[in-house]
Chain A
Amino acid sequence: MISMIQFSDVLAWIHQLLSSCMAPWLVFLIELVVASVAAVVALLVCVIIMVYMERKVAGHMQLRHGPNRVGWHGVCQLFADIIKLLLKECFTPTRADKLLFVVAPVLSLCVSLLALAPISWGPGLVLWNTNIGVLFVTAISSMGVIGILMAGWSSNNKYALMGAMRSGAQIVSYELSAGLSIVAIVALAGTLNTGGIIESQANGWWILKGHLPAFFAFIIYIIASTAECNRAPFDLAEAESELTAGYHTEYSGMQFGIFYLNEYINMGVVSMVASTLFLGGWQPFYLPFDFGWAHAFNDIMALKFMETWPAWISWVSLAWPLVWFFGKLFLIIFFMMWFRWTFPRLRIDQLLKLEWKYLLPLSIVNLVIIALIVVLGLHF
């Protein structure tokens, strides 16, 4: 029987190949740069798909076509937009706080890309395999609000300031219930390492294994993370009918483009975390039951039938975890787009009421129930 090829084997092989002809520090540097650039490029490709998907989903939900002029079915629309943004002037208002105005978009981008480090893309495919993975993502993504407040305040524009203050209140509030849902899953998995959390779901995703509380935690996390990304129905920060464009009203050209990019990177990171915690990351679907066809189904899902196939075919199975990872990623993103065209925008008092009077108490109670499940060993 030929064993399946794993990413760790491929990575070890590349490492050996490089080590045979180069100094160790050079090997380390090359691997570091290539891996980081690969992760960022993968995310940027996801962002391109997300923007196209957003426009098409929005179009079809409103019974129109969406972009369909530039290229085949409008696939080149985004590139046309990028070129347009590059040709626009990056303008700083005369009365703005010049330094903070320029730093704000750069800071936002830094923060959202740093959250990428502990994300596990596939078995062994992780930039920073750390034991504080999920905590790090929570900590670093909560710093995004600083960039938004900076942008809003330094613009010296009332719309921008109001948008930034709303966004600040919203992001810090919803961070609480997002954090509590994350803690609930960490309690079930017993580790903060993203790879460890995913491996703990090899015999069923937490959303299935953790009974109803885990499902509630998932729903709370999705609501809270939609709010953290400033997406509709929680897009008070850039409510275009009242605040023109919110905190990035005064931004133009590529500085605006960075905020736009940032919004989609945040969506991507949030969805990656959601799929890591609740939907098993790169693990294929697994039925946590003990009867005949469930076993057969799980064997097919784990590609057991490929083990007897010739070696070169099992290379294809390398892509299998990635298919699941990106599939879940885009599924969650599709849900977030669906919310946008389903729910009307909330008012600020409704928004804070939803978080503080409903979601926060609910997620605390939910966490206690999950603790009980863990202690009594009721999960599978």
Chain B
Amino acid sequence: MGSASLIALLIIAIAMAVIMIYIGKIFGISSTNPQKGEPYECGIETKGLTWVQFNIGYYLFALLFLVFDVEIVFLFPWATVVRELGMVAFIEILLFTGFLFIGLLYAYKKKALSWM
């Protein structure tokens, strides 16, 4: 089918979602009152804003993730040719992951890997 199947799948997904939600809109019983639009926080009225600055811990892990995810992107082309290249590929990967491993150890030493 080729890459056209991606477009077909995308259209199917959007159509499926829209039809399902639309059927709900037609058959669903709808009512409104001011209490209903409030955020659901187990009965207690919500206090303060929700869209505020969040814990920096998540940000640190996102940064670390970026480094290692780019590493994996580099590893994919390497993995397809490792058989043809032989020993050179092995030494290469040893150096490459070695450097990143040092980076991981540094992050470990700086306590960036433990949740705060």
Contact = CB atoms under 8 A, between A and B. Distances in A.
Interface of A: 28, 31-33, 35-37, 39-40, 85-91, 93-95, 102, 105-106, 109-110, 113-114, 116-117, 127-128, 130, 135, 153, 155-159, 161, 165, 168-169, 172-173, 175-176, 179-180, 183-184, 186-187, 190-192, 244, 249-250, 253-255, 257-258, 348-349, 352-353, 356-357, 360-361, 364, 367-368, 371-372, 374-375
Interface residues of B, number: 68
Contacts of B14: 106, 110
B80 to A, nearest CB: 6
B79 A31 contact: no
A156 B39 contact: yes
Given A169-B62, A356-B64, A368-B94, 11 more contacts: A85-B24, A90-B28, A93-B39, A113-B10, A158-B50, A179-B75, A254-B20, A254-B21, A254-B23, A361-B101, A371-B90
Contact of B13 (A114, A187, A368): A114
Contacts of B72: 176, 179-180, 183
Consensus secondary structure, chain A interface: helix
Given A128-B5, A159-B41, A375 B87 contact: yes
A375 B82 contact: yes
A198 B68 CA distance: 27
Nearest to A31: B1
Contacts of B115: 348-349, 352-353
A4 B27 CA distance: 51
Nearest to A171: B65
A32 B3 CA distance: 10
B27 A86 contact: yes
Given A114-B9, A348-B115, A250 B90 contact: no
Contact of B68 (A106, A109, A128, A360): A360
Nearest to A93: B37
A128 B61 contact: no
B45 to A, nearest CB: 12
Nearest to B83: A190
Nearest to B100: A364
A214 B81 CA distance: 18
Contacts of B75: 179-180, 183, 367
A357 B108 contact: yes
21 contacts: A36-B8, A86-B20, A86-B23, A89-B28, A90-B28, A94-B37, A95-B37, A114-B10, A117-B6, A117-B9, A128-B2, A175-B69, A187-B82, A244-B40, A349-B115, A356-B113, A357-B108, A367-B93, A372-B90, A374-B82, A375-B89
A357 B41 CA distance: 35
Closest 5 CB pairs of A and B: A94-B37, A349-B115, A36-B8, A186-B79, A254-B24
Contacts of A37: 12
A172 B13 contact: no
Contacts of A175: 65, 69
B51 to A, nearest CB: 7
B113 A183 contact: no
A187 B12 CA distance: 34
A39 B11 CA distance: 14
A128 B69 contact: no
Contacts of A372: 90
B38 A93 contact: yes
A369 B78 CA distance: 15
Nearest to A105: B17
